[in-house]
Amino acid sequence: MPKDQKPTINDVARIAGVSKKTVSRVINKSALLNAATREKIEAVIADLGYVPNPQARALALRRNFLIGLIHDNPNAQMVLGVQEGILETIRDTEFALVVRPVDRHSPALLDDIRHFIERQRLFGVMLLPPISENDELADMCRQLGCTVVRMGSAALDKSEHLVASNDRQAVADAVFWLSEIGHRRIGFIAGPDGFRSAREREIGFADGMARAGLTCDPAIMARGTYRFESGQAAADQLLAADPPPTAIFASNDEMAAGFLHKALGAGIRVPEQLSIIGFDNTATAAHIWPPLTTVQWPIKAMARAAASKLILPGDAATQPSIFLSDLVRRDSAAPPPQAEGNH
């Protein structure tokens, strides 16, 4: 059916016996149009299967409809969730999502991204954590004429396009819940220095402990790297404490899995003797044994909000949107052994 070329606005105009401009008015839903003319043209469009050329449109409008997703996130589940969330929002628009995984440690990082944005003339970019914490990068993107939306752990100090999760409160709530079911001796595995998420979760832990009237014992607190191995290392340290913790909050699932692995290896029964809570709700969390209780970002909702901020004009979009995470209760956290007796 399509001979060799796609129909253009000229073809539509010629066949409908009107000018290009009138067809353009139909495409853009201009109000100043005779209903009969509109219907005639719409019939021709449908007949020809005409689709406006986005490149030509972008050229004439001096703006384009590509939004970039820049990330260096190790959590594949999350990245894909974001992609899906963005897509749901832009599905029926003329925007498209172009992705750019990057290496945060590359010395050419900024240049790479600059070329990417300039080459594609991106309309806007979305930054995922942890690279979303790079202010220099965000500034560069803005300077290049992009709208920038950052996703991350709440950082209320900056009033800009931001979609954040209130990790602090989510962690505090989870820790308080542990206290409610009877835990008194709760350990913590922090994330690496320099990550805002790690810092927020640390503060959240302290908040939760304070709210529960519990004190933080440095002997059952460790700092990890967000990697599996560091969770194992933390287990070696924390399980040797006296008395040992009855519950552990790990700042992400990988470390929780590492901790769990070691604890199980040491013959500790989970959750009967030890409760573990993670953060992120990665695919792994549901598939390890026992299934991990964990805190989950409302990823898709956040991504949808971020995409809306990006494609919607107006200053309302510059208000940060803060989301609260949920605790996904699985089998790795339960009341402590002594609590059952105390009840």
Partner DNA sequence: TGGCTATAGGAAACCGGTGTCATACGCAAT
Partner DNA sequence: ATTGCGTATGACACCGGTTTCCTATAGCCA
What are the residues binding DNA (CB under 7 A)? 5-6, 8-10, 17-22, 24-25, 27-28, 31-34, 36-38, 50-53, 56-57, 59-62
- Residue 264 interacts with its own copies (CB under 8 A): yes or no: yes
- Give, for 140, the enclosing helix (H) or strand (E): helix 135-143
In sequence order, which residues have a C-beta less than 8 Å from that of residue 242 and are 6 or more positions away?
A: none
Instruction: Show the site string, 50-89: x = touches its own copies by CB under 8 A, - = not.
Output: -x-xxxx-xx----x-x---------xx-xx--xx--x--
Q: Is 296 helix (H, G, I), strand (E, B) or coil?
A: strand
Identify the residue among 14, 40, 261, 329 touching its own copies (CB under 8 A): 261
Which does residue 257 touch among its own copies, DNA, none (CB within 5 to 8 A, set by kind)?
its own copies
For residue 303, count CB atoms less than 10 angstroms from its CB and return exposed for 0-12, middle for 13-18, buried for 19 or more: buried
Q: Is 186 left (phi over 0), alpha (psi -120 to 50) or beta?
A: beta
The answer to whether 228 contacts its own copies (rule: CB under 8 A) is: yes
Residue 282 makes contact with its own copies by CB under 8 A: yes
User: Based on CB atoms, which residue is closest to DNA, 58 or 214?
Assistant: 58
Alpha-carbon distance of 46 to 103, in angstroms, equals 46
Nearer to DNA, 57 or 185 (CB): 57
Per-residue tokens: 125: 């970019």
Cis status, amide bond into 243, omega within 30 of 0: yes
Instruction: Give yes or no for residue 156 binding its own copies (CB under 8 A).
Output: no
Q: 23, 247, 260, 305: which one contacts its own copies (CB under 8 A)?
A: 260
Subset of 113-142 contacting its own copies (CB under 8 A): 116, 118-121
